[in-house]
Amino acid sequence: MCLGIPVKIVEKKDTIGIADIGGVRREVDLRLLESIDVGDYVIMHAGFAIQKLDEKEAQETLGLINEYLDSEE
């Protein structure tokens, strides 16, 4: 099973962004979406940004993911 997760774009060079999630940075391909800027949140799946999110929705989703992970410890 694969999971798409919200990430924040912190850098951008052409069609490649640098995404941050919990202090971990990964490259993300932005070619599937239009108008992605530094500071935007996107759903990242298999290295691609597949959907843009507003910050509130991204934070809510990240909160739920963190709650789940905390409950598994």
Q: Which of 37, 18, 40 is nearest to 29 (CA)?
A: 18
Residue where the block lists tokens 């759903």? 43
Q: State the DSSP code for 67.
A: H
CATH topology of domain 5-72: SH3 type barrels. (2.30.30)
8-12, 23-27, 53-57, 64-68: segment of lowest average pLDDT: 64-68
Domain ranges of the chain: 5-72
Tens of pLDDT, residues 18-52: 999 989 999 999 999 999 999 999 999 999 999 99
